[in-house]
Structure 1
Amino acid sequence: MKTIVYAHPWDGSYNHAILTSITENLETKKTPFQVIDLYKDEFNPVFTAEELKYFNKGDTPYQLVKDYQEKLNQSTELIFIFPVWWWDLPAILKGFIDKVMLRGFAFTEDQHTGALKGLLTNIKKTTLISTSTTDKDYIESEAGNAIQSVFINRTLADLGIKNEDTKWIHFSRVNLTTDEKRMIFLKEIAQNI
């Protein structure tokens, strides 16, 4: 099962056009998929003091988090669609990782060394599709590359999602490009998912 984790608040955005292009293509091919739409679900990425009581136990008081975990358990492929804001993931996507990827569900920790062992080994392929107003090269070199170095190489790897099974596709200068280039990208991305 393909699971799309979508993190953009505006239905008029290019990110939403990417989501629509991909889901329409999957529907046409009759490929099973599900969407986690963080904004539509009104997911709250902020931890409360009450939640932290559960966190160290690897638990949550929120049904939405449990629903997301069930969807991830059904998944063999993840597709993240998000804008790069301030050189990093949007806060809502970071909060998704913080609140959903709990101990005992997404990882275990060695009591002696503190080393993490990822448990999401059912995920065989991951694709990150991001957009920004700057070039991918600039994100990779000037910003310390929070997407590749932190999210892919550390976070996803610590959850059991192997780097060699992860691909990052970025659409640069989304605000300055032509409609023709946007349309070409939408067609290509849908065919590659």
Structure 2
Amino acid sequence: QQFIGHFKGKNYLKDAVRKQAWCMLLQGEAKKYTEKMAMVENIGYTNVGIDNEAETEAENRLIPNPTLLKSRLLFDGGYYSEATIQLEKLAPERLKLEEQVEKQYRLARIAQKTGETEKARAAYIKTIEMGKNLDLYYAANSALLLGNIYEDAGEKELAMDMYRQCLSFDFHTYRGSIRGLAKQHLSRLE
């Protein structure tokens, strides 16, 4: 609240309001989450990816799965085992396709961060396959990160294939940064 009330800039305001909404959702206050998210569209700008993501979430008016959200926040804080525990609570048959893809993506990210490269590879491949036709960033970022894994392993052709695949996806959230990184890696390898 301090940041929102006193910040003189124009970026990160949408994300700050969204994070307040997330707190409400994680406390079981779905109605308050919805009310707070309605404010996102009327504050700040979408000059940075995180604000763009916040606005897209507000426009979609879909309430995130609280367990996936909690896992995401735990991961972002470096609490990988706790994030995994949250993901293990989610039965795939009870999730929408978008949630299944997000779960798979988060498992891949955790595996990569904890040094389980083969597990990360398999999970990224599964994320790409499951999410390739969705307007979400998970498949594209999985291709980018899988390309990084291949590049680190000296598998140049596989890395280039993944970077090209990343560029082939149609998505909006984090589009500029993900595609920019894929282009950088690709131009360096060509």
Q: Greater helix share, 1 or 2? A: 2
Q: Greater strand share, 1 or 2? A: 1
Category of TM-score, reference length = shorter chain: under 0.3
TM-score normalized with structure 2 length: 0.27
TM-score normalized with structure 1 length: 0.27
